[in-house]
Amino acid sequence: MDFLSTLFILVIGVAVLCIIVVFIHDKLWAKDAVNRNYPVLGHFRPFAETIGEFYRRYIDFDDREELPFSRAIRHWIYEVSDGQEPIRGFGTRVNFLKRPFFFKNAVIPLNADETTDVPVLTIGPYCKTPYKPPSFFNMSAMSYGALSAPAVEALSYGTEMAGCWLNTGEGGLAPYHLQGNPDIVFEIGTAKYGVRDQQGNLCKNKLREIAAKPQIKMFELKLSQGAKPGKGGVLPAKKVTQEIAEIRNIPVGEDSISPNRHAEVTDIKDLIDFISLLRNITGKPVGFKTALGDPQWLRDLCDEIKIRGEKDAPDFITIDGAEGGTGASPMTLMDNAALSIHEALPLIETILKEYDLKDRIKIIASGKLVTAADVAWAMANGADYVVSARGFMFSIGCIMALKCHTDRCPSGVATHNPKLQKALKPHDKKHKVANYVNQLRNEVAMISHSCGVKNIRELQKSHIGGQTI
């Protein structure tokens, strides 16, 4: 063998050895979930992102164009979740001609010592056990089923660290929700997972058992969500494992399809009756979640509440915009049904004020409200609380692969494939959840002070300029 052939074999040998070493390292010790699941290949992602950024900036998409969340927004969340300060140089890359709104800054802003903490409100004043949520920004409903066990664990620890609530989603209460001991909102979906009998009807004893847990602070009756109004939830068969089937009381390995509506609720009167029943059984605040189509429905609800008295009112309404996310939904509904949160929220605030019910019924808003600016906008437009699902997913490493419904989520967040989810380490991710929530709240305070108000609850519609809706 001549010198060149020996050198060639040596170089190839060293390269193969390096790949094997990196493969073993990634499989066993890599911190990044994608690198663990895709050893060696995962390292090309940042490279591809860098090349992609160049490609998009000069040839195709701008950093602000990608949907449902632009690269700029996702990177803001990744940065703050990592505990970094999202500072930029040179100038904004927002196109000011397309800016949907802006905050009217005070010419003379407030100093830090002139500001106050965000007042804590009470939800459910007529309940045996009302709830005073410590945070105005919280986690929206996502079930153990749509999310993996380590993702739920990470969110449980992280929400507790951040002092915000975690919403179980419609899939019932899993042990992973309780692990970190956060405040929990239990969602009752149309299939009543977690609180149902064999036939799928509400089981009052199970509901009592759940309500007796001190971590459970409120109950959210799910009428609909923005991504699929009028359609029950779908958990694809691949995700219905033995454990999930037991938690939900359903058969293993079959599509788990929730009915389109609650059997008990055929009109507004039934809805109020059902909420009162749930509140009597649980002794805790009960509200409902919906996407809004025609606001007349809300007026009819308020008329009925006025007849019965405000005690019978829902304790809160979670209003989810059409832009809301989902684990799995039909594209036709996702793209074409319901008002966006930018249309629905100002409407609901106006109607509740008209009926003098704004204080009694707290408004919780969601729908792509994942940054400090989005959250401040929503609070100024009448939200008492803002919740997010995908913001929290990004904080634990979701890369927006858009594969939640396939069970092949590469970051281990929305899959039950043990190989993929093994890579997500709850104790690494919990800090990221807490960092995200803390930095978001800090920046909401920064916006408030820039507008000359002492805390976010003082920010009004009049502080928002350029609102087209």
Q: Least Å distance between CB 8 and ligand FMN?
A: 50
Binds ligand FMN by CB under 6 A, chosen from 192, 239, 368, 430: 368
Longest dimension (CA), the chain: 97
> Is 438 one of the binding residues for ligand FMN (CB under 6 A)?
no
Residue among 140 and 159 whose Cβ is closer to ligand FMN: 140
Residues binding ligand FMN: number (CB under 6 A): 27
Binds ligand FMN by CB under 6 A, chosen from 74, 192, 217, 222: 222
Q: Least Å distance between CB 154 and ligand FMN?
A: 14
Residue among 133 and 233 whose Cβ is closer to ligand FMN: 233
Binds ligand FMN by CB under 6 A, chosen from 159, 190, 215, 326: 326
Q: By rule CB under 6 A, what string of x and - marks binding of each residue 133-162 to ligand FMN?
A: -------xxxx--x----------------
> Is 391 one of the binding residues for ligand FMN (CB under 6 A)?
yes
Pick the stretch among 262-270, 318-326, 332-340, 456-464 that binds ligand FMN (CB under 6 A): 318-326
Residue among 143 and 179 whose Cβ is closer to ligand FMN: 143
Residue among 349 and 374 whose Cβ is closer to ligand FMN: 374
Return the residues of window 395-424 that contact ligand FMN according to CB under 6 A: 404, 414
Return the residues of window 72-131 that contact ligand FMN according to CB under 6 A: none
Report the distance separating Cα 242 and Cα 140, nearest Å. Answer: 25
Q: Least Å distance between CB 165 and ligand FMN?
A: 13
Residue among 127 and 141 whose Cβ is closer to ligand FMN: 141
Binds ligand FMN by CB under 6 A, chosen from 367, 397, 410, 426: 367
Return the residues of window 183-212 that contact ligand FMN according to CB under 6 A: 187
Q: Give the residues lining the site for ligand FMN (CB under 6 A).
A: 140-143, 146, 169-170, 187, 222, 225, 233, 289, 320, 324-327, 366-368, 370, 388-391, 404, 414
